[in-house]
A and B are shown apart, each in its own frame.
Chain A
Amino acid sequence: MAEILTDHQGTCTLRDCAVAGLGGKCLLGLPPIDCEHFEPQPDQGASPAGNELESTPLAREPAPNKEPSLPQMQEQARSSDAAAALADPLLGAVGAVADEGATEIVRQPRRVRRPEGPTDTMVFDGTSVPLPSGLALTADEARSILASDSAILVVVAGPPDAGKTTLLAAIYEVFLRGPISSWSFAGSRSLLAFCQRAYWASTASGGVRPATPRTRYDTTRPWLHLRLADPAGVKSLLIADISGEYFSTLASGGNLGDAASIVARADHVVHVLDSELLVERRERLRALGSTESLIRRMAEQNHFDARAKHTVVLTKADLCPPDFRDEALSRADGWTRRWLPGAEVIEVAARPANHDLPWGLDVLLGSVLSTGERPTARQGSDGAAMRPLMRRLGRTGATIHPLTGIAAGLKGWPSEGGGDQ
């Protein structure tokens, strides 16, 4: 089979790609005109018509058939529209004669139009201006959203590996394919953050099992932003994705540390119980006991805003043993009556183990979105609404900003002087 060789005048930004050298092949196997890394050199040997034919043959033995030589083809191309139509300019294809034993390389001239006169070219140089990163938001960035848009602050609470981040990743993954119940995706300032959380469940990761990266033990960038729309309007969510280690520390008698202020601000707290821990009979009661202890400590230590709503979610619900499901739900219901009045108990399988479609996310969203939105900073300066929060903040030494109504001096939220403490 005859080789396909290329000789293209230009450079390639891919290291080790030899396409720009004589006889080299594109590392990605693409025709240079289709390769985003190839940068052609301008105006090299352009014809007066501004129409350049880009091909240079290598000397080879002539094929035994009557195929025209390259110079003959070039001449035909210049003078014949029909010959021009034979070119494959967009693909930049070079043809090869598949002739057994033949070594001649036959190329089709590739026409590339260039401007024939002066153009009004802008050059985008100068100091670049940063755009929003798309990562999970800092307190300042979340605050800027609250300054102009009412939002529901949500915290997902639970020990490590309970499925907190997977819940959020799964919500994003489902929206990629369509609405969830009556809710449509309406925007996000932390799109990249969702992509990061969903990456290890995508085929792009090269994995064979969906996975979720462990959340860092760090509250510098805890907030995910999500705008959802239904026929009634648009609602915004600011969801704190916090490491489970904060909660496991509290459950064992410690404190929430930097996460305390974030939990205190929540309009809605989602408490997760890992149903996978209920599979082993020896682990069931321990898992239920740990979850109840965590909820109880947070309630007794006044970590919640008095107005906050709560939902208890049995994550990985597809794994919950059928013979224990009712017991688990009953226990969770007991917690809510005792420590989280008015809370719902729901089941969610964000990534079923048998790779079925996720379920329960619509119920979770419905529960969270039924929460009233925190007013914008301008709306939130109503003294009556702020009094309960001010009482709590007074115990922590924080203050309310006189103009924005936003609490300051708390970890996770900026101080008066700016920046996190």
Chain B
Amino acid sequence: MLGGHSSGKTSYLGGLWATLKYAPTGAAVQLRGALPSDTAYLDMAEHALLGCESVERTRRDTGERIQLDLLIDGEASTFQHVDVAGETVEAMLEQRVASPALMDELAHADALMLFLHPDQVRTPSSIAEAMRLAAAAGGGSASELSSGAIAPEQADIDPLKVWAAAPTAVHLVDLVQTAIGLRSATARVRIAVVVSAWDTIDSGPSWGDAVRPRDWLHNALPFLVQYMDANVADFAWRPFGVSAQGCDFGDLAAVDALLELPYERRPVVVTEDTWTHDLAAPLRWLAGGGEAA
């Protein structure tokens, strides 16, 4: 599971844990065997989600190991993951170095979940575009608005500053390229692109009617969608709109209403053609179940 800070990874983990623990018999994804002995981190994430609270941010340069034995569509499977701070991933791309342990995790990954938060998407913003908008708003031509302006000093610019200012889609493409490049296996991998906080984009009860995850990605991150679609030889990918929380925890009225619901009715996962409360749906697809890649 990869993504920047506050991209929704830990919220998803908490919701997934709750979903798995309370999954009814016969659910497509359920725990296999007894509860694991070491679940403090997952419990923390779950309790925070159930109580509409925040979780302690994962410390940078650390990761919490999680291993769950699962049954996915009747097949035994093991979910192994290291919940890495988003800042660690961001620093890896910024500094262009990675710890051997993190590289090892990426190299042996069988599947990837790429998280992004809609509120953190930085879209391309060109001066020309800004001038066109300003001209359209205020009258006059775009060239008049910038006429006479002096071009900035073309001094060397710190690459870190350039990278920090790059659009989110560029960061995500680089992240996927890096992760794929580090993989030791040659088998085609599956990548779930998770748009978290989907409740800020869409609303029920007819989730997905107004906007589908792929359409949202296509509009917000066309650079990423081009890249993902173009590399089908290396990986299969699928977008998911996920609301692990069920609502914006800052909306007190929504939280009040949410607290009345059992957790299994709070989360929402929107796929390309349907929606479900089953937070394990992306996991199921990653394991090869559900819809075809």
- Chain A residues with Cβ below 8 Å from B261 are none
Which residue of chain B lies nearest to A227 when distances are taken between CB atoms in the complex?
B230
Determine whether the beta carbon of B53 is less than 8 Å from that of A89. yes
A176 to B131, CA, bound (A): 18
Which residue of chain B lies nearest to A133 when distances are taken between CB atoms in the complex?
B96
Determine whether the beta carbon of B103 is less than 8 Å from that of A206. no
Contacts A119-B38, A119-B41, A131-B92 given: A176-B124 contact, CB under 8 Å? Answer: yes
Determine whether the beta carbon of B128 is less than 8 Å from that of A124. no
Determine whether the beta carbon of A192 is less than 8 Å from that of B143. no
A42 to B130, CA, bound (A): 44
Q: Within residues 151 to 191 of chain A, which ones have a CB less than 8 A from any CB in chain B? A: 173, 175-179, 184-187, 189, 191
Determine whether the beta carbon of B252 is less than 8 Å from that of A85. yes
Determine whether the beta carbon of B40 is less than 8 Å from that of A123. no
Checking A91, A122, A129, A178 against B82 with a beta-carbon cut-off of 8 angstroms, the contacting residue is A122
- Chain B residues with Cβ below 8 Å from A86 are 252
Determine whether the beta carbon of A87 is less than 8 Å from that of B174. no
A392 to B40, CA, bound (A): 68
Determine whether the beta carbon of B159 is less than 8 Å from that of A196. yes
Query: Please, what's the 1-or-0 string for B247-284, where 1 marks a CB less than 8 Å from any CB in chain A?
Result: 00110100110010000000000000000000000000
A88 to B93, CA, bound (A): 32
Which residue of chain B lies nearest to A186 when distances are taken between CB atoms in the complex?
B230
- Chain B residues with Cβ below 8 Å from A72 are none
A296 to B82, CA, bound (A): 60
Chain A CB within 8 A of B291 CB: no
Checking A89, A131, A199 against B98 with a beta-carbon cut-off of 8 angstroms, the contacting residue is A131
Chain B CB within 8 A of A120 CB: yes
Determine whether the beta carbon of B170 is less than 8 Å from that of A176. yes
Determine whether the beta carbon of B124 is less than 8 Å from that of A177. yes
Which residue of chain A lies nearest to B223 when distances are taken between CB atoms in the complex?
A176
A119 to B10, CA, bound (A): 14
Chain B CB within 8 A of A112 CB: yes
Contacts A90-B250, A115-B44, A176-B167 given: A192-B141 contact, CB under 8 Å? Answer: no
Number of interface residues of B (CB under 8 A): 88
Chain A CB within 8 A of B186 CB: no
A112 to B55, CA, bound (A): 5
Chain A CB within 8 A of B25 CB: no
- Chain B residues with Cβ below 8 Å from A177 are 124, 222-223
Determine whether the beta carbon of B62 is less than 8 Å from that of A122. yes
Determine whether the beta carbon of B178 is less than 8 Å from that of A120. no
Q: Within residues 132 to 161 of chain A, which ones have a CB less than 8 A from any CB in chain B? A: 132-135
Determine whether the beta carbon of B255 is less than 8 Å from that of A85. yes
A88 to B5, CA, bound (A): 19
- Chain B residues with Cβ below 8 Å from A207 are 127, 151-152
Determine whether the beta carbon of B170 is less than 8 Å from that of A195. yes
Q: Within residues 64 to 79 of chain B, which ones have a CB less than 8 A from any CB in chain A? A: 64-66
Determine whether the beta carbon of B256 is less than 8 Å from that of A85. yes
Determine whether the beta carbon of B165 is less than 8 Å from that of A199. yes
- Chain A residues with Cβ below 8 Å from B92 are 131
Chain B CB within 8 A of A322 CB: no
Chain A CB within 8 A of B290 CB: no
Determine whether the beta carbon of A124 is less than 8 Å from that of B62. yes
Determine whether the beta carbon of B226 is less than 8 Å from that of A354. no
Q: Give B95 Cβ to nearest chain A Cβ, in Å.
A: 8
Binding site for A on B (CB under 8 A): 5-6, 38, 40-41, 43-45, 47-48, 51-57, 59-66, 82, 84, 87-88, 92-93, 95-103, 124-132, 135, 141-143, 146, 149-152, 154, 156-157, 159, 162-163, 165-167, 169-170, 173-174, 177-178, 181, 222-223, 226-227, 229-231, 233, 249-250, 252, 255-256, 259
Having A85-B52, A124-B88, A128-B98, one finds 14 other A-B pairs with CB under 8 Å, namely A91-B250, A112-B54, A113-B48, A118-B40, A119-B64, A124-B84, A131-B178, A179-B226, A184-B230, A191-B170, A196-B157, A200-B154, A205-B127, A205-B165
Binding site for B on A (CB under 8 A): 33-34, 36, 39-40, 42, 50-51, 81-82, 84-93, 110-135, 173, 175-179, 184-187, 189, 191-192, 195-196, 199-214, 227-229, 234, 351-356
Can you show 21 pairs from A to B with CB atoms below 8 A apart?
Answer: A81-B259, A87-B53, A89-B53, A92-B54, A111-B53, A115-B56, A120-B38, A121-B65, A128-B99, A131-B93, A178-B222, A184-B230, A185-B223, A186-B227, A186-B230, A195-B162, A201-B128, A202-B165, A208-B149, A212-B154, A213-B154
